[in-house]
Amino acid sequence: MSIALIWIIIGVILILSELMLTSVIAVFLGIGAIVTGLLLHWGLIDQIATQFAVFGIVSLALLWLARGRIKQWFSGYTADEDESKPNFQRDIGARVTVVKGFRHGAGRVTLNGVQWDAFSEDELEAGDTAWVVANEGIQLTVQKEKLKRAAKTE
């Protein structure tokens, strides 16, 4: 097996590894290895030091010039500004049903068909209706009275 073919195989493996690694770096290393293998095959380079220099220069040049543009293809859509509230904020103001009465401020509620641990300063019993006032990740804070929404100022 020729050294040129080894460079090309390494390049293909690096490019394919990018399917599992989403860092968008291995693809540039793979292209650098393929370019090195092709130049070696065509007889344009021959010394091992030259091979590694070409590999490094091509890989770094591509990484520097194209990574930002190509990475956008892999990241999908992201908004710079919050177009809608995150999921945990959407629940604020939602109506919940008390599943387990509140003792010492802690109980359980159902929101969107899912049971949540919840806290409340109000006395709530099973079957009561309450409203979400805060979401601390996996625990809700609820109250007996519905939140009065402040007028939106723009």
For every one of its 154 residues, what pLDDT tens digit does the chain have, with 9 covering 90 and above?
899 999 999 999 999 988 887 677 888 999 999 999 999 999 999 999 999 999 999 999 998 888 777 766 655 555 554 555 555 577 788 899 999 999 888 999 998 888 899 999 988 999 999 999 988 878 899 998 876 654 444 4
Query: 88-143: which CATH architecture?
Result: Beta Barrel (2.40)
Ranges of each domain in the chain: 3-74, 88-143
The tally of CA atoms less than 13 A away on the side-chain side of residue 2 is 12
For residues 12, 15, 16, 17, the Cα torsion angle rounded to the nearest 10 degrees is 120
Please write the tens of the pLDDT for every residue from 30-69. Answer: 999 999 999 999 999 999 999 999 999 999 999 888 877 7
